[in-house]
Amino acid sequence: METSGSMSHKIVVVGIGPGHPEYMLPAARQRILGAKVLVGGRRALSQFSSKDQITMAVTRDIPAVLAFIRVQLSRSDVVVMVSGDPGYYSMLDALRREFPRDRMEVIPGISSLQMAFSRLALPWHDARLLSFHGRRPEKEQLAYRPGALLGLLTDGEYHSKKISALLMEMGWPEETEMFICERLSYEDEEITALTLSEAAAREAVGNCVLIVWDKAGGEIYAPLGNGR
Ligand SMILES: C[S@@+](CC[C@H](N)C(=O)[O-])C[C@H]1O[C@@H](n2cnc3c(N)ncnc32)[C@H](O)[C@@H]1O
């Protein structure tokens, strides 16, 4: 049983939110500032790390990052920064397979999806949340339903152009509205409203959030209940 000494060190997975420090919880900032060992993407490290911290940048080589964390845990807690909320497609997934729950603490963050829905003043309780970031949703998850609302993560390969074309193939009307939400929370944040057919004809935007909303004939928000 892991009870004391070095074995009691924890991995603290901290959600840093969509990027701008104003949108990070004080508890997250406190854990990052107090970290002896700090792991995160290059951008997060350049924003939040200090000289006296031992750091490691997360790359595609996840096994190397896990090995680094395992070594560091023998002497200290390790703080791992992830974008948005740790519970929605982050390194928490890989960490949770490798380490038991009692070695982990998770500090939530504002997901990029939450931020996008907030910007559009749209409730997201009925939305279908899906990720195209390094994965592909099942076809059934993309099926058209009148009044449906989608919140999508994207990457460099599956971007606004490809996804809008795919949705039209899946039966979404070409006039369905798509909001391309880029660099949310940063000074240069941009939100563009287009129809699916316009998005398919325009230049591709990746690594953003896409909100797709079939207004089902009305401009006014009209909740339809579950089963969208
Ligand atoms: C690995 S996923 C991480 C999701 C994260 N855990 C969350 O809750 O937002 C990375 C994707 O999140 C989205 N994303 C993260 N930060 C963003 C931002 N500031 N603006 C727009 N999209 C963002 C993009 O779709 C990006 O490709």
Give the pLDDT confidence score for residue 5 in this predicted structure.
43
Query: For residue 1, what pLDDT is reported?
Result: 40
What pLDDT, on a 0 to 100 scale, did the predictor assign at position 3?
A: 40
Q: Tell me the average confidence (pLDDT) per consecutive run of 10 residues in the chain, 228 residues long.
A: 59 97 97 98 96 96 96 96 98 96 97 98 96 95 95 97 97 97 97 98 97 79 56
Q: What is the dihedral of CA 207, 209, 214, 215, to 10 degrees?
A: -140
Measured CA to CA, the distance from residue 223 to residue 22 in angstroms comes to 31
- In ligand 1, the atom with minimum distance to the C-alpha of 181 is 21
Domains of the chain (ranges, CATH numbers): 5-110 (3.40.1010.10), 113-213 (3.30.950.10)
**In terms of Cα–Cα distance, which of 207, 196, 6 is closest to 89?**
207
Please give the distance, rounded to the nearest whole angstrom, from the Cα atom of residue 40 to the centre of ligand 1. Answer: 14
Cα separation, 177 vs 191, in Å, equals: 12
Can you say how many angstroms the Cα of residue 151 is from the centroid of all Cα atoms in its chain? 11
For residue 133, which atom of ligand 1 is closest to its CA?
A: 27
Q: Which of 40, 42, 96, 43 is nearest to 68 (CA)?
A: 40
Residue 71, token pair as written in the block: 């070594």
C-alpha distances (whole Å) from 20 to each of 14, 50, 81, 100, 118 are: 15, 17, 14, 31, 15
Residue identifier of the C-alpha nearest atom 26 of ligand 1: 207
| 155-197 residue pLDDT tens | 999 999 999 999 999 999 999 999 999 999 999 999 999 999 9
Integer-rounded Cα Rg, in Å, for the chain is 20
CA-CA distance, 12 to 14, in Å (whole number)?
6
Query: Ligand 1 pocket: which residues have CB below 6 Å?
Result: 18-19, 82-85, 88-90, 111-113, 133, 153-155, 181-185, 207-209
